[in-house]
Amino acid sequence: MVSRLVLVLGDQLSPDIHALREADRDEDVVVMAEVMSEASYVRHHPKKIAFLFAAMRKFAARLRQDGWTVDYTELDDTENTGSIPGELLRRAEQRGSAEVLATEPGEWRLIEALNDCPLDVTQLSDDRFLASHARFEDWAKDRKELRMEWFYREMRRETGLLMEDGEPAGGKWNFDHENRKPAPGEIDYGGPMEFTPDEIVEEVLDLVEARFGENFGDLRPFALATEPVQARRALTHFVKNALPKFGDYQDAMLEVNGFLYHAHVSFYLNAGLLSWQEICEAAEEAWRQGDAPINAVEGFIRQIIGWREYMRGIYFLQGPDYTSRNILNHDRDLPGFYWGGETRMNCVGSAVRDTKDHAYAHHIQRLMVTGNFALLAGIDPHQVHEWYLEVYADAYEWVEAPNVIGMSQFADGGVVGSKPYISSGNYIDRMSDYCAGCHYDVKTKTGEGACPFNLLYWAFLDRHRDRFERNPRMGNMYRTWDRMKDEKRDTILGEAEEFLGRMEKGEVV
User: Per DSSP, what are the bridge partners of residue 71?
Assistant: 31
Dist CA 12 CA 18 (whole Å): 9
Give mean pLDDT, residues 429-441.
Answer: 97
Residue pLDDT, tens place only, 337-357: 999 999 999 999 999 999 999
Domain edges within the chain:
5-124, 133-191+242-313, 336-504
Q: Is 294 helix (H, G, I), strand (E, B) or coil?
A: helix
Query: Is 288 a residue whose pLDDT tops 90?
Result: yes
Reduce the DSSP state of residue 494 to 3 states and report it.
helix
Tallying the residues shown for the chain, one arrives at 509
| The pLDDT of residue 148 is above 90 | yes
pLDDT of residue 183: 86
Q: DSSP label at 83?
A: S
Question: For residue 2, what pLDDT is reported?
Answer: 79
Which residue type sits at 114?
A: L
Give start and end residues of each alpha helix (H) in 98-147: 108-115, 133-140
pLDDT in the model for residue 185: 85
Instruction: Note the pLDDT of residue 235.
Output: 98
Q: What is the pLDDT of residues 453-481, one digit of tens each?
A: 999 999 999 999 999 999 999 999 999 99
Helical (H) or strand (E) element with 318: helix 309-318
For residue 122, the model assigns a pLDDT of: 98
Does position 44 have pLDDT exceeding 90, yes or no?
A: yes
Alpha carbon distance 189, 239 (integer Å): 12
| Burial annotation 49-69 (CB, 10 A radius, 16+ → b, else e) | bbbbbbbbbbbbeebeeeebe
pLDDT in tens, 100-110: 999 999 999 99
User: Does pTM surpass 0.95?
Assistant: yes
Reported confidence tier of residue 432, pLDDT bands at 50, 70, 90: very high
**Which residues face 445 on adjacent strands?**
none
- Compute CA distances 352 → 200, 255, 308, 362, 400, whole Å: 29, 11, 23, 11, 17
Q: pLDDT tens-digit profile of 121-145?
A: 999 999 999 999 999 999 999 999 9
Count other Cβ atoms within 10 Å, centred on residue 230: 19
pLDDT tens, residue by residue, 184-193: 888 999 999 9
Which pLDDT band, with edges at 50, 70 and 90, does 444 fall under?
A: very high
Q: What percent of the chain has pLDDT over 70?
A: 100
| Domain 336-504: top CATH class | mainly alpha
Centre a 10 Å sphere on the Cβ of residue 490 and count the other Cβ atoms it contains: 11
| pLDDT of amino acid 334 | 98
- Which fold does the domain 5-124 belong to in CATH? Rossmann fold (3.40.50)
Query: How crowded is residue 439: how many other Cβ atoms within 10 Å of its Cβ?
Result: 13
**Distance, C-alpha 52 to centroid of its chain:** 15
Could you name the CATH architecture of 133-191+242-313?
A: Alpha Horseshoe (1.25)
CA distance 110 to 107: 6
Q: Report DSSP letters for 223-277, one per residue.
A: ----SHHHHHHHHHHHHHHTHHHHHHHTT-B-SS-S-TT----HHHHHHTSS-HH
Would you place residue 270 in the very low, low, confident or very high pLDDT band (cuts 50, 70, 90)?
A: very high
Query: What are the backbone dihedrals phi and psi of residue 441, each rounded to the nearest 5 degrees, phi first?
Result: -105, 115
Please choose, from the candidates 323, 424, 312, the residue with its C-alpha nearest in 3D space to the C-alpha of residue 381: 323
The predicted pLDDT at position 1 comes to 66
Stretch 194-220: mean pLDDT: 98
Write the pLDDT tens digit of every residue in 383-423: 999 999 999 999 999 999 999 999 999 999 999 999 999 99
